[in-house]
């Protein structure tokens, strides 16, 4: 099974039941090199780096399932105030994008090491882990390639600070951390990220370098039905492209079909109105409980975003709280 940068593999939902004291790292195979072909020429013109407070209230959608009672007013907050990240706890806030006014100097050195390939980390997921366990794992396993000791230490601390922030705000004591370096490709288009059943639905993502993550304002979304129609078709085309990889003609046809689908963005009222969470930003955003994926849920419940399809390798970290119902330990632990 293949996954976007920060999709939760469905298997990860089972790991927390082990009650093991140590986090359970596993690697997800990287996307094939022959798919790292970027054809997304229509993405750039509409991108925006707007850093301000933006509120959007889309039309109420027709809800036909058990989440129908939840409000559909969706808000994305773009801010330079770090404390605003906490507003993701509000039901109507789909995402908070915090762009620091200035980035620490070590970001530049880290970006260079990721860009030139000296710092690499395979797609790794650590689930059902406490902050201390994550700290220990990072201390033992975070690659050092291409990084001066101070940069390596700063990166570790920065990742742990994401975990600590999530713990303080949610009260969670166990987490899922996803980390990878990867070259952008066209495997995934716009999508929503998922969390295991019953897990808290918001998490933090930090993109350390490279092209930013594209996203759309909820007021621009026609409906989640339209989003899922696009996503379903795109995933089918991507699967067909994998199956046809030894057939150049079929592959080229599918590549064009995917590019066209991405360019049309038929789920948007204004297809060119796409924004960008830039490198260095921290994004607090709503994930969808995997049980509600593909359902008629309100737009406010999940951030609709798209990783870049071309550009330099990027380092990405995503942290979510581990589902309280899945963890057997931790009642004695305190949030950090
Ligand atoms: Fe994602």
* pLDDT tens profile 211-230: 999 999 999 999 999 999 99
The residue behind tokens 């996203």 is 215
**Token pair 């004695």: residue:** 332
Q: Which pLDDT score, from 0 to 100, does residue 191 have? A: 95
Average pLDDT over residues 248-258: 94
H or E stretch at 274: none
DSSP secondary structure code for residue 11 in this structure: G
pLDDT in tens, 262-295: 999 999 999 999 999 999 999 999 999 999 999 9
What does the pLDDT read at residue 48? 27
> Which whole-number Å values give the CA distances from 80 to 50, 56, 103, in the listed order?
11, 19, 12
Q: How far is the CA of 332 from the centre of ligand 1 (A)?
A: 32
* pLDDT confidence tier of residue 197, bands split at 50, 70 and 90: confident
* Token pair listed for 140: 């033992």
Question: Residue 171: what pLDDT?
Answer: 85
The residue ranking higher by pLDDT, 36 or 270, is 270
Q: 3-state class of 85 per DSSP?
A: helix
Q: How far is the CA of 183 from the centre of ligand 1 (A)?
A: 15
- Tell me the CA–centroid distance for residue 4 and ligand 1, in Å: 6
Strands 213-215 and 175-182: unpaired
Ramachandran area for residue 179 (φ above 0: left; ψ -120 to 50: alpha; else beta):
beta
Residue 16 reports pLDDT greater than 60: no
The structure's pTM equals 0.77
Position 324 scores a pLDDT of 58
Q: Please, are residues 208 and 111 in contact by the beta-carbon 8 Å criterion?
A: yes
Give ion ligand 1 contacts, CB < 5 A: 6, 193
């Amino acid at each position: 099974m293949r996954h976007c940068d920060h999709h939760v593999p469905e298997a990860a939902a089972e790991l927390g039941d082990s009650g093991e004291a140590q986090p359970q790292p596993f690697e997800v195979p990287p996307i094939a090199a022959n798919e790292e072909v970027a054809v997304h020429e229509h993405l750039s013109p509409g991108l925006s780096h707007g850093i301000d407070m933006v509120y959007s209230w889309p039309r109420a959608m027709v809800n036909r399932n058990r989440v129908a009672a939840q409000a559909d007013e969706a808000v994305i907050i773009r801010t330079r105030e770090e404390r605003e990240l906490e507003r993701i706890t509000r039901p109507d806030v789909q995402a908070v994008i915090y762009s620091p006014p200035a980035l620490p100097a070590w970001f530049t050195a880290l970006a260079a090491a990721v860009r030139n390939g000296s710092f690499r980390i395979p797609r790794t997921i650590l689930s059902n882990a406490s902050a201390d366990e994550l700290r220990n794992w990072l201390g033992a396993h975070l690659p050092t390639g291409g990084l001066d000791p101070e940069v390596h230490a700063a990166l570790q601390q920065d990742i742990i600070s994401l975990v600590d922030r999530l713990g303080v705000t949610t009260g969670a004591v166990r987490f899922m951390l996803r980390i990878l370096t990867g070259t952008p490709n066209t495997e995934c288009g716009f999508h929503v990220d998922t969390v295991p059943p019953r897990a808290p639905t918001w998490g933090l993502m930090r993109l350390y370098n490279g092209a930013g993550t594209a996203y759309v304002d909820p007021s621009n979304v026609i409906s989640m039905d339209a989003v899922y129609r696009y996503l379903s078709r795109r995933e089918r085309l991507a699967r067909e492209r994998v199956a046809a990889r030894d057939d150049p003609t079929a592959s080229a046809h599918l590549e064009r079909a995917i590019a066209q689908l991405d360019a049309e963005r038929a789920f948007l009222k204004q297809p060119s109105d796409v924004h960008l969470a830039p490198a260095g930003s921290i994004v607090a955003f709503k994930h969808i409980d995997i049980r509600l994926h593909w359902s008629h849920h309100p737009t406010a419940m999940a951030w609709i975003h798209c990783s870049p399809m071309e550009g330099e390798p990027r380092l990405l970290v995503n942290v979510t709280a581990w589902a309280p119902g899945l963890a057997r330990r931790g009642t004695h632990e305190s949030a950090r």
